[in-house]
Chain A
């Protein structure tokens, strides 16, 4: 299939590239040397390929690359663009909320979205938002703790 030129904002930068219409978003990001979004199950079930498009979490393995034409894409690599880890990233480290780390970028991005919409999430909110992210090492209890800690630090940061 012939490539089509797309223009989009990638982690705050305007970019342009030509890509075949059957390529998915994970493959597109790899061309920009971004490997934080990983394809694992290939069915949109594990969340390892989570990317934010217009601020909304999508499964990069099921999302056609050409769909980002004209849109803003944020990957996990952008969260510490100002040299400071996000409060979610800090909380994941503090709570030991990962083991092998393969699924972690997806969890972190989904948690960013969760906390944006529920600054003080209940256990039920957390389970609901993270039900589409799987962790084979099963760091789930630590991930729940990290979300709560991130919510707390976000509230503290906002209070200053």
Chain B
């Protein structure tokens, strides 16, 4: 066992607070092992050259791959070239080194290019999403205010660390949820076991935590006889107040996301609860995530002599629309059309360092680097215009500036910038930090479900997603990110589960591992809650994961509302619901 993160706001006294609290609630929630399953399985090619190596790979972290492969050979970085085209999906599965060291070693031995492409079945042995056990305990005072919360989270990381310890730490910061609680204790443990390793899957551990704390929150409200929304409103964490880690909340639209969900689902309006064997219920859940910090992004903007523009960056576009957003940012600053900005694909011989495309960090981190690089290019263009004797304050097209300065279509202007946000590492003893994240992500869901009490079947009648997106750079793309993340989490909620027998996966195929298809999509509404991320590029923040946060607990809470049973372990199958219904009636199924 490897303990990796503890946050204790006031450790010594927390047991005293529990002892003197009006009510104390304690629950355990579990999540299953599932996986990313991009349709383009991991694939890499290594091509040996003259004392160097070129690697073509489907990977979210090209700079990291270069550094690691160079380190393995004891080479300088510039002898390894890593090229990454558009990915056929990633979702966190292609982070860090995966097949690259293997193809590199084989290519060096064979002195020939070597390719490895995984089959779909092999993906089940590559990287997965952590199964978790989350013990959560809360103390509430007479006014229904949360006064203490302790969280114990166990992350089943499998046989190798991969990015698991980082997931354990970073998600651990927000394990107590988006609530204002005076006394908090968090222990987050990364465990080694004999399973397929687990890493980051669209949410960096946060969906597993929201599953626990929002199920718990709903149970507390029900036990207290308080409306679950009213209970959340009373306890919600607001900007300007310290979060459990000690970092003051800023630019986090928690209340706004909650209220958007409440308004959309018409929480206060009369509601058809169904009849007979078909019962209906509603549930809400909201989640909070800290970004991955401290991480660096570097961008280069190149203005050619005819005024056309290149952007060099190592962010990987895997469908999230990063290239589009960055082209828009460059276009806005240099006053060119976004489609006229040539965004160069990651190639470590050409594109500068980036920590990686993960944890919804790109739009904020690389977006800021791109903005600063474009501003640098603009300043240099102005300087060039002055050198050329053009009057200041006049908006000459770049092509004219180059021609005037160099006498013909010649030259370049290179703007560059590095961006690394401020960060304070958590105190080794207390886990506290004044600056644990450069920005906060907020997402939530509201669900209306119908439960068939004879079969346990669940039908989602409405699924509403809302997320704080700062000021969206591209609202259409932002909306599809929210929707796609929610549907992916719907799979992890209702059907996806790796079945293991003695460490072997027994359902390692799309025939036996059920992901959402077009027939599984419920009526959905997606709301981008506009706010302002003051430190983000044009007020924007990352969004790729926020749509996953609330889905699972919103559905479990709705099921509880409909039929009075609590499902505490994912996935929520018809069988699980039926077993719970039968247990409630004292008519256990034969094998229970």
Binding site for B on A (CB under 8 A): 38, 40-43, 45-46, 48, 96, 98-103, 126-127, 130-131, 133-144
Q: Are A100 and B476 within 8 A (Cβ)?
A: no
Q: Are B39 and A40 within 8 A (Cβ)?
A: yes
Q: Are B510 and A143 within 8 A (Cβ)?
A: no
B583 adjacent to chain A (CB < 8 Å):
no
Q: When A41-B120, A99-B480 are in contact, do A141 and B521 touch as well, CB less than 8 Å?
A: yes
Q: Are A130 and B319 within 8 A (Cβ)?
A: no
Q: Are A101 and B319 within 8 A (Cβ)?
A: yes
Chain B positions 28-68 with a Cβ under 8 Å from a chain A Cβ: 37-41
Q: Are A100 and B89 within 8 A (Cβ)?
A: yes
Nearest-neighbor residue (CB-CB) of B117 within chain A: A39
Q: Are B488 and A138 within 8 A (Cβ)?
A: yes
Cβ of A35 to closest chain B Cβ, rounded Å: 11
Q: When A99-B480, A130-B518 are in contact, do A45 and B89 touch as well, CB less than 8 Å?
A: no
Residue interface bits B298-321, CB-to-A below 8 A is 1, else 0: 000000000000000000001111
- Cα distance, A128 to B37, chains bound together (Å): 23
Across-interface contacts of A126 in B (CB, < 8 A): 518
Across-interface contacts of A127 in B (CB, < 8 A): 518-519
Q: Are A48 and B510 within 8 A (Cβ)?
A: no
Cβ of A18 to closest chain B Cβ, rounded Å: 23
Across-interface contacts of A99 in B (CB, < 8 A): 89, 319-321, 480-481, 484
Across-interface contacts of B481 in A (CB, < 8 A): 99
- Cα distance, A46 to B229, chains bound together (Å): 40
Residue interface bits B520-564, CB-to-A below 8 A is 1, else 0: 010010000000000000000000000000000000000000000
Q: Are A102 and B88 within 8 A (Cβ)?
A: yes
Extra contacts, 13 of them, besides A48-B39, A135-B518 (Cβ < 8 A), are: A40-B120, A45-B511, A99-B481, A100-B38, A100-B40, A100-B87, A127-B519, A134-B39, A136-B38, A136-B91, A137-B488, A140-B487, A142-B480
Q: Are B488 and A136 within 8 A (Cβ)?
A: yes
B516 adjacent to chain A (CB < 8 Å):
yes
Across-interface contacts of B510 in A (CB, < 8 A): 41, 43, 45-46, 134
Q: Which of A96, A131, A135, A136 lies at the interface centre, i.e. has the most chain B CB atoms within 10 A of its CB?
A: A136
Q: Are B515 and A42 within 8 A (Cβ)?
A: no
Instruction: List 22 A-B pairs, Cβ < 8 Å.
Output: A40-B41, A41-B120, A96-B477, A96-B480, A99-B321, A100-B86, A100-B318, A102-B89, A127-B519, A131-B518, A131-B519, A133-B518, A134-B39, A135-B518, A136-B39, A136-B91, A138-B484, A138-B486, A138-B487, A141-B483, A143-B518, A144-B518
Q: Which of A41, A96, A133, A137 interacts with B89 by CB under 8 Å?
A: A137
Q: Are A43 and B40 within 8 A (Cβ)?
A: no
Residue interface bits B314-340, CB-to-A below 8 A is 1, else 0: 000011110000000000000000000
Q: Which of A126, A140, A143, A144 lies at the interface centre, i.e. has the most chain B CB atoms within 10 A of its CB?
A: A140
Chain B positions 494-529 with a Cβ under 8 Å from a chain A Cβ: 509-511, 515-519, 521, 524
Cβ of A90 to closest chain B Cβ, rounded Å: 16
Residue interface bits B73-92, CB-to-A below 8 A is 1, else 0: 00000000000001111110
- Cα distance, A52 to B320, chains bound together (Å): 29
Q: Which of B37, B39, B321, B509 interacts with A38 by CB under 8 Å?
A: B39
Q: Are B40 and A38 within 8 A (Cβ)?
A: yes
Q: Are B120 and A96 within 8 A (Cβ)?
A: no
Across-interface contacts of B518 in A (CB, < 8 A): 126-127, 130-131, 133, 135, 140, 143-144
Cβ of A105 to closest chain B Cβ, rounded Å: 11
- A-B CB proximity, top 9 nearest: A100-B319, A102-B88, A99-B319, A138-B487, A41-B510, A40-B39, A138-B484, A100-B89, A45-B510
Across-interface contacts of B89 in A (CB, < 8 A): 99-100, 102, 136-137
Q: Which of A96, A98, A138 interacts with B476 by CB under 8 Å?
A: A96
Nearest-neighbor residue (CB-CB) of B484 within chain A: A138
Cβ of B312 to closest chain A Cβ, rounded Å: 22
Q: Are A101 and B521 within 8 A (Cβ)?
A: no
Nearest-neighbor residue (CB-CB) of A126 within chain B: B518
Q: Which of B90, B120, B320, B511 lies at the interface centre, i.e. has the most chain A CB atoms within 10 A of its CB?
A: B120
Across-interface contacts of B524 in A (CB, < 8 A): 141
Q: Which of B86, B90, B321, B517 lies at the interface centre, i.e. has the most chain A CB atoms within 10 A of its CB?
A: B517
Across-interface contacts of A137 in B (CB, < 8 A): 89, 319, 484, 488
B119 adjacent to chain A (CB < 8 Å):
yes
- Cα distance, A46 to B263, chains bound together (Å): 37
Cβ of A127 to closest chain B Cβ, rounded Å: 5
- Cα distance, A157 to B74, chains bound together (Å): 62
Nearest-neighbor residue (CB-CB) of B317 within chain A: A100
Q: Which of A42, A98, A134, A142 interacts with B319 by CB under 8 Å?
A: A98
- Cα distance, A139 to B487, chains bound together (Å): 9
- Cα distance, A136 to B319, chains bound together (Å): 11
Nearest-neighbor residue (CB-CB) of B477 within chain A: A96
Across-interface contacts of B37 in A (CB, < 8 A): 136
- Cα distance, A142 to B518, chains bound together (Å): 11
Cβ of B205 to closest chain A Cβ, rounded Å: 20
Cβ of B385 to closest chain A Cβ, rounded Å: 38
Across-interface contacts of A41 in B (CB, < 8 A): 39, 120, 509-511
